[in-house]
Amino acid sequence: MVNTLCVRLVLLGLVFVALWVVTVGYVVELRHVETLSYVVIRDELDIMFVRWALFIGDVVTWAILFSLAPAALGAIISNLVTGHMSRPQALAFMATLVTITAAGVSGIATKMSIDKHFAIPWLVVVIAAVGGLAQSAGGPVGRSSDGRAHQSPGRGRVLTVLGWTLGALALSVALIGGPLYGDLVSVADLPSWVPPLIAVAVVVPALLLSAVSAVLLKRGRRHRHRIIPSFEELAGERYLLYLRPFAIDRAMAFPPDEAPGWSTRSPFELPGTHEEFLLRPFRRLGRVVAIGQPGERLPELGAERGYLPVDDWQDMVSRLIHGAHAVIMTAVPGPGTMWEFTEALRTTAPVRLLLLIYGDELYHAFREGAAQEYASRSSAETDVNWPPLPHLPEIPPPAPHTRGLPWDFPLKGILSFDHEWRPRFTRFPPAVPRLRHVWTIRRLVRRELTPVLQPLSQLAPAPPFA
């Protein structure tokens, strides 16, 4: 399949080209000397900064229009021809094909109307399109032949460097945007519609560069995120096993919900993804590992992923649960999760099991599914000494907060157990201080989760993974 990240970058690039062409149309003008015509910068804008900006913008425009866009079109056409996709995917590909083609043609036509001597480098276009066709025809991008995530640390480092470079460029563009806008609109007799257009042309590139920088940085981190080649390497190590339905991975890959108080919070207090933020307090207890979703292109950020066959995973998961220092399980219903919960009842000590509670509706569905799975397995596997099904209590409402701001975070709390399977609910911080710095939220979370983390830190080593 076509790499969706590349397609999105091409579409963002075409937006940049459109804005750039509009800006160039205002900055330059066509002059005539007898039969000779040439394009120059307007006299009032002929400064060194504008010259360099035009040069860099033209280079980027050429790269997008005559290299990246034809390569993306070639890859999309190849996938449409092969036909290995569902009808919705085919419609999405066709819509993307039309969008890129129309935007590219419009950009080229506008560029040619500004510069009469502009010529299309057809050789470069053909080479890029053929490269896109060949790359797509070579097979799926980002997956290995066995369905596991396939990383390229070298590509990850390149994406990281490129992401930081674009981020620095976005900051530079934002810093010079104000003075540049003042210089451009100071020209006398400008039409009323020109200043707003210049403002958009000055602000939007910085926003686009910042957005692309964030995407590239995250992609680079996923390429460099640690993958467990074989779970056998965990033998002799302390690890915590993170279990969840694969269906929530997409939601957990987004940044966590911001804490309230936008005018007083730090912009860096919740870095990373939701999964990274959730598992960070547990990392000081050992490696946090998880089963990777089969067929995913790259591992999500957070727990270290290892991969198992789709039709032969239960034996290894049972061994992982048995040897884990702690089992952190998301209390969200799912066929695999229900089996894993009952397996944890059978193979691990009560004090090593933690349930992450996200909401009443999901928790109630989890309780019902767990009871059904327990009844099914305990009646079918009569040779197993099953412990009683522990009581999963109702979640108490949060206590009225007398200070701070209420934080409606998706995670409501953590359910832990003592040696007799008696439950204890530790609520996730429901309120945050009004005035805080970059470390306030992390310290607050660590302090409030002490009733969960401290008993885990005092546990004896788990049975060896075997």
Instruction: Please name the residue that has the structure tokens 């019902």.
Output: 368
Highest mean pLDDT among 121-130, 341-350, 440-449: 341-350
Min mean pLDDT across 85-94, 166-175, 247-256, 365-374 is at 85-94
d(CA 45, CA 50): 7
Which amino acid belongs to residue 300?
Answer: E
Q: What is the mean pLDDT of the chain?
A: 78
Categorize the per-residue pLDDT at 127 as very low, low, confident or very high, splitting at 50, 70 and 90.
Answer: confident
Lowest mean pLDDT among 34-38, 94-98, 270-274, 295-299: 34-38
Task: Give pLDDT, residue 242.
Answer: 94
Please give the pLDDT value at position 353.
93
- The DSSP code for 68 is I
Residue with tokens 């779970």: 231
Across 415-433, average pLDDT: 85
Q: Give the list of residues 6+ apart from residue 244 with CB closer than 8 angstroms, or none.
A: 252, 290, 329, 330, 332, 337
Token pair 């039969």 is found at 35
Contact predicate 78/133, CB 8 Å = yes
pLDDT band at 31 (very low <50, low <70, confident <90, very high): low
Percent of the chain at pLDDT exceeding 70 = 77
Which residues lie below 8 Å from residue 24, measured CB to CB, with a gap of 6+? 54, 57, 58, 111, 114
The answer to whether residues 75 and 133 touch, using CB atoms and an 8 Å cutoff, is yes
Mean pLDDT on 109-120: 68
pLDDT of the residue at 141: 41
pLDDT band at 241 (very low <50, low <70, confident <90, very high): very high
CA 263 from centroid of its chain's CA atoms:
25
Interval 149-173 mean pLDDT:
80
pLDDT for 310 equals 84
Specify the range with the lowest mean pLDDT, choosing from 10-19, 59-68, 286-295. 10-19
**What pLDDT score was predicted for residue 144?**
47
DSSP annotation string for 203-267 = HHHHHHHHHHHHHHHHHHHHHHS-EES-GGGGTTS-EEEEE--GGGHHHHTSPPPPPS-TTTS-T
| 8 Å CB contact between 333 and 369 | yes
Residue, of 424 and 24, whose pLDDT is higher: 424
Question: For residue range 335-362, what is the model confidence (pLDDT) as tens digits?
Answer: 888 999 999 998 999 999 999 998 888 9
| Cβ count near 420 (within 10 Å) | 9
